[in-house]
Amino acid sequence: MSAPYRIADFGPSDLLTSDREYFRRLRVDVAETGFFENREFRISEELDIGTGEQLVYKFSSPVDFILQLQALSVDTGGIRFTAYRAAQGTEGGAFTPIEMYRVNLMDDAPDYTRQASISSGGTFTTTAKPVEVIRLRTSGSTAQQATVTGAVGDQRALAAGDYYLVFTVLGNSPATGTFDLKWEERP
């Protein structure tokens, strides 16, 4: 039985996995192009939030981006994480830039100038419903304390703009933990 197509019908032969009929498949890259083009970035922040305090991160991107990971871990107390779009509230106070890291640190990674920025320290006031909520609380008993983790790992394509990530203490005692964020810029 002969196939109703020829190799040339699929374009360049380097896009195929085999020259044998019925075995050839289109070659698919299992990795992210953005990783190899050096457009993926991350942060990893330690959180230490006092009772009645809030910690706000402002994520600003002039280009569309893919949010690949948000992970919150709490080792003492409880934290409520909420995310908002800029149009949902009002920022205040002074924000200080935080350190961001490339995901691809290989020597042969191409040059790419990061466009997004992240800063912390200001405020964000809103009465709007958050676009995302994560709540984590550790046990109050010393003998039962353990770190708890909540993560959102589904990729989401987001538009260029400002986003506010707000961390609030749950309960009447300070909270500590970590927050990780990873994204790919899509210029």
**Domain-located, residue 34:** no
Least confident of 1-10, 28-37, 53-62, 155-164: 1-10
CA–chain centroid gap for 71, Å, is 8
- Integer distance in angstroms from the first to the last C-alpha of the chain? 47
In a domain, 11, yes or no: no
pLDDT of 18 reads 73
pTM score of the predicted model: 0.80
Spatial contact of 74 and 175, defined as CB atoms under 8 Å apart: yes
Q: Please indicate, yes or no, if residue 88 is contained in any of the structural domains.
A: yes
- Considering all CA atoms of the chain, what is the largest pairwise distance in Å, rounded to the nearest integer? 75
Q: In total, how many domains does the chain have?
A: 1
Q: How far is CA 176 from the centre of its chain?
A: 20
Is 122 inside a domain boundary?
yes
Confidence class for position 50, pLDDT limits 50, 70, 90 = very high
| DSSP H helices in the chain | 33-36
Cα–Cα distance for residue pair 137/52, rounded to 1 Å: 15
DSSP letter, residue 16: B
Q: What pLDDT digit, counting tens, does each position of 131-168 carry?
A: 999 888 887 655 444 555 655 557 889 999 999 999 99
Instruction: List the CATH number of the domain containing 163.
Output: 2.60.120.380
Residue 176 lies in a domain: yes
**What residues make up the domain containing 84?**
40-186
